[in-house]
Structure 1
Amino acid sequence: MLIELIGTPRLRLRRFGPEDAAALAAYRSDPAIARYQGWSAPVTSAAAAELVGEFAAGDPGRPGWFQYAVELRATGELVGDVGVCLAENLRQAELGVTFAAEHQGHGYATEALRAVLADLFERRGLHRVSAECDARNLRSAQLLERVGFRREGLRPDHTWLKGEWTDDLLFGLLGADWTPPPPTR
């Protein structure tokens, strides 16, 4: 069993393990999930196994990206991932999130992001967390605002992605503005 790094009543956020490769390949191969992301669908089994190996080697306390595997406590099913890129100064981070289509709309991404933000601000004492998304990805923008991020800007035609220029929405959240979620029952 893999060790839980962050937990909520419904979710376990943990390090990736080899057994996660098939589920990762499945949800990252969904064209609707990959549409606004930096990878293209499908994600092969070999590519997923390589990604899982890279994710498993990460260290959540060191600068750079660390990818949390998000699984349901009730079933142990991998439902998505949350990435945190810790800055060299260990006081700032950027985050990203990907969830399987069939597990969207249940509050899991909101719950996972709130738990990660609580860890970053309350336990680690970060000053600021930022995020960005394709301006057409309204669900991601709404998710970021729901967990407390403020929209800070728009970069028109900023990213060349999958054969087209895309606009990026920029979001930020200061530790001083972080409001912990109410306790769950």
Structure 2
Amino acid sequence: MSFELSSERLILRPLRPGDAPALAAYRSDPAVARYQGWVLPYSVQDAGQLIAEMAGRVPGDRVSESGGWVQIGLESRAEGVLLGDVALNTSGRQAEIGVTLTAQAQGRGYAAEALRALISHAFGSLKLEQVRAEIDPRNVAALRLLLTLGFRHTATEYGGYLNRGEWTDNAVYTVTEEEWLT
């Protein structure tokens, strides 16, 4: 099954084998990876393995009873280059989202644009009722992004997330279909 979403400046599409070098490069950038859970450095082989695991998956796929992450590439319409990726993990009537952008693409509105398209797809085509995001509360950019998109803070687990040997807080933000549509 094929999948593609479009926005004004982006194409949200499956990751491709040719994306591996770019994916590895931005995921290996310590500033980009600071609040993410993957191991550094993130090699081209790691990227290739992720891309292979995602082959054929589309948003809404449930790989197991608890759901399954689907990573989606963000391609610039103007330049045709990979700017980052978004992720969706559906479980029941809800989903969790994530986003990662290259350092060069950050601060230009791409994350909001991509997540608007993905969340609209989740509520529209996938008929989900709630979308959530979990972030390290020190990630001010992610916090601003979620608030801009209309998410509300619903919980914080203090010292509940082990990331690179450090126990960090984990803040949960949610938006319901009803909130999204208003």
TM-score for both structures, normalised by structure 1: 0.91
- Partner residue of 1:51? 50
2:70 aligned residue = 66
Question: How far is the alpha carbon of 1:105 from its aligned partner?
Answer: 0.7
Q: 1:2-21 alignment to 2 at 5 Å? A: 5-21=4-20
What does the per-residue CA deviation read over 1:38-81, in whole Å, with 9 as the maximum and x for residues that have no partner?
11322111111111111224232322111110000011100010
Q: Which runs of 5+ in 2 are unaligned?
A: 63-67
2:79 equivalent in structure 1 = 75
**C-alpha separation in 2, matches of 1:11 and 1:41:** 27
Shift of 1:9: 1.4
Residues 131 and 171 of structure 1 are in contact (CA less than 8 Å); yes or no, is this contact kept in structure 2?
yes
Structure 1 residue aligned with 2:37: 38
Q: Give the Cα–Cα distance (whole angstroms) in 1 for the partners of residues 127 and 47 of structure 2.
A: 33
* 3-state secondary structure, aligned to 1:86: strand
Partner Cα distance (1:57, 1:5) in 2: 12
Deviations 1:65-106 (A, max 9, x none): 11110000011100010000011x2x2111111111110011
Q: Is the 8 A contact 1:67 1:82 kept in 2?
A: yes
- 1:133-182 Cα distance to aligned partner (Å, 9 max, x none): 011111111111111111112111001111111001110110011037xx
- In the alignment, residue 81 of structure 1 is paired with which amino acid? D
Q: Residue 143 of structure 2 corresponds to which residue in structure 1? A: 141
Deviates more, 1:12-21 or 1:118-127: 118-127
Q: Which residue is 1:156 aligned to?
A: 158
Q: Show structure 1 runs of 5+ residues with no match.
A: 181-185
Contact 1:4–1:12 under 8 Å retained in 2 = no
Give % identity.
44
Q: Distance in 2 between matches of 1:156 and 1:4?
A: 37
Moved more, 24-33 or 46-55: 46-55
Q: CA RMSD in A?
A: 1.3
Match of 2:177 in 1: 175
8 A contact 2:11–2:77 mirrored in 1: yes
Query: In 1, distance between residues paired with 2:128 and 2:112?
Result: 20
How far apart in 2 are the matches of 1:164 and 1:138? 18
Q: Which amino acid aligns with 1:55?
A: M
Q: Residue 163 and residue 61 in structure 1: after superposition, are their counterparts in 2 closer, same or farther (change >3 A)?
A: closer
Cα offset, 1:122, TM superposition: 2.1
Q: Which moved more, 1:51-60 or 1:165-174?
A: 51-60
TM-score by length of 2: 0.92
